[in-house]
C-alpha cells in the first residue's frame, strides 16, 4: 500500500455523490505517538461528535518506510490496534490501544502509521448529497533511547519547471519538517506552509518547492520548523 503522506491528521474522502454535504463526525487524538523502549503501548482516543447517530470505525496498522522519495505502507503484525474495529454511539468516546507485540528489542527507531477510517453508512446515503467520510493517518514511533539524532543534508535541483528540495537523513531518528521557506540573496524562491513531511532515519525524501525559473547563482538558505523548533540551513544546489 503506497501513499504520499503529505499531511498528518484527517483526510476527507468524498464519496461519489453530488450536491450538499453531510459532515463527518469522527475525531482522533492525539495526532502522533512516540514511545521510548521499553514502553510498548499507548492509546488513541476516538470521539463521535454526532449527537444522533452511531458511526462504525476501522483501525489498521501499517509499517511505514521511505525509499527513493516514495513512502510505503505495508501491513504488519509487529504492532496491532485493539480493537481493530468498533461502533461509537452518539456523542460517545472510545479508547483504542496501540501495542507493539514483538518481543524483539527496538533498534534505533521503528515507524508505523495507524489508519483510522470512519466507515460510510449506506443507510444514510441520500440522492443529491455528498457523504463525507474521515480518514486519520497517525504516525507512531517506537524509539530506542540511544538512537542517533537526525542528521539532514539538504540539496536543491531542477525538475522540469519546478525546484525539488531533497532531504537525506543519515541519523537513526525521524525529522519532521514544516513551515519552510527557501530564499536566495534575500529573494523568496518558494515556500510551504504547515506540515511538509517527515524524513525517517536513514531515508531520503524530496518535495517540489517553487519554480526553477527563480533560481540563479548564489547560495540558498532554508528557514523552517522541525521537532525541536525553528532552524536555518544552507542548501546545496545541484546542476546549476
Residues 26 and 125 in one domain: yes
Examine the fold and report which residue of 81, 114, 143 is the final residue of a domain before the chain moves on.
143
Q: Strand 229-237 and strand 152-159: pairing?
A: parallel
In a domain, 63, yes or no: yes
pLDDT at 213: 86
pLDDT at 6: 37
Question: How many structural domains does the chain have?
Answer: 2
Q: What is the CATH number of the domain that holds 200?
A: 2.60.40
φ, ψ of residue 108 in degrees (nearest 5)? 60, -115
Residues 134 and 51 in one domain: yes
**pLDDT 10s per residue in the chain (240 long)?**
544 343 333 343 333 333 334 456 899 999 999 999 999 999 999 999 999 999 999 999 999 999 989 999 999 999 999 999 999 999 999 999 999 999 999 999 999 999 999 998 776 666 556 666 789 999 999 999 999 999 999 999 988 888 999 999 999 999 999 999 999 988 999 999 999 999 999 999 999 998 888 888 778 999 999 998 999 999 999 876
The domain of 157 spans 152-237
Q: What is the CATH number of the domain that holds 18?
A: 2.60.40.10
Length of the chain as a residue count: 240
Residues 97 and 53 in one domain: yes
Give the whole-angstrom CA distance, residue 238 versus residue 155. 7
Residues 39 and 139 in one domain: yes
pLDDT at 238: 85
In a domain, 163, yes or no: yes
Contacts of 38 (CB under 8 A, 6+ apart): none
Residues 130 and 187 in one domain: no
* pTM of this structure: 0.86
Residues 128 and 23 in one domain: yes
Give the whole-angstrom CA distance, residue 54 versus residue 57. 10
In a domain, 4, yes or no: no
Amino acid at each position: 500500500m503506497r501513499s504520499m503522506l503529505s499531511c498528518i491528521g484527517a483526510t476527507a474522502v468524498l464519496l461519489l455523490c453530488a450536491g450538499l454535504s453531510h459532515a463527518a463526525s469522527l475525531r482522533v487524538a492525539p495526532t502522533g505517538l512516540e514511545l521510548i523502549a521499553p514502553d510498548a503501548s499507548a492509546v488513541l482516543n476516538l470521539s463521535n461528535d454526532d449527537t444522533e447517530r452511531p458511526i462504525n470505525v476501522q483501525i489498521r496498522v501499517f509499517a511505514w518506510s521511505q525509499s527513493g522519495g516514495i513512502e510505503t505502507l505495508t501491513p504488519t503484525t509487529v504492532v496491532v490496534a485493539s480493537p481493530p474495529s468498533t461502533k461509537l454511539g452518539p456523542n460517545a468516546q472510545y479508547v483504542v490501544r496501540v501495542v507493539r507485540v514483538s518481543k524483539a528489542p527496538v533498534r534505533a527507531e521503528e515507524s508505523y502509521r495507524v489508519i483510522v477510517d470512519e466507515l460510510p453508512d449506506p443507510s444514510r446515503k441520500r440522492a443529491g448529497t455528498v457523504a463525507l467520510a474521515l480518514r486519520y493517518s497517525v504516525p507512531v514511533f517506537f524509539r530506542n533511547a540511544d538512537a542517533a539524532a537526525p542528521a539532514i543534508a539538504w540539496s536543491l535541483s531542477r525538475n522540469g519547471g519546478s525546484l525539488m528540495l531533497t532531504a537525506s537523513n543519515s541519523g537513526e531518528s525521524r525529522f519532521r519538517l514544516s513551515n519552510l521557506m527557501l530564499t536566495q540573496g534575500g529573494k523568496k524562491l518558494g515556500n510551504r506552509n504547515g506540515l511538509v513531511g517527515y524524513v525517517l532515519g536513514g531515508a531520503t525524501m524530496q518535495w517540489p518547492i517553487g519554480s526553477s525559473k527563480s533560481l540563479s547563482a548564489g547560495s540558498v538558505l532554508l528557514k523552517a520548523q522541525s521537532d525541536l523548533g525553528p532552524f536555518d540551513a544552507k542548501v546545496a544546489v545541484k546542476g546549476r
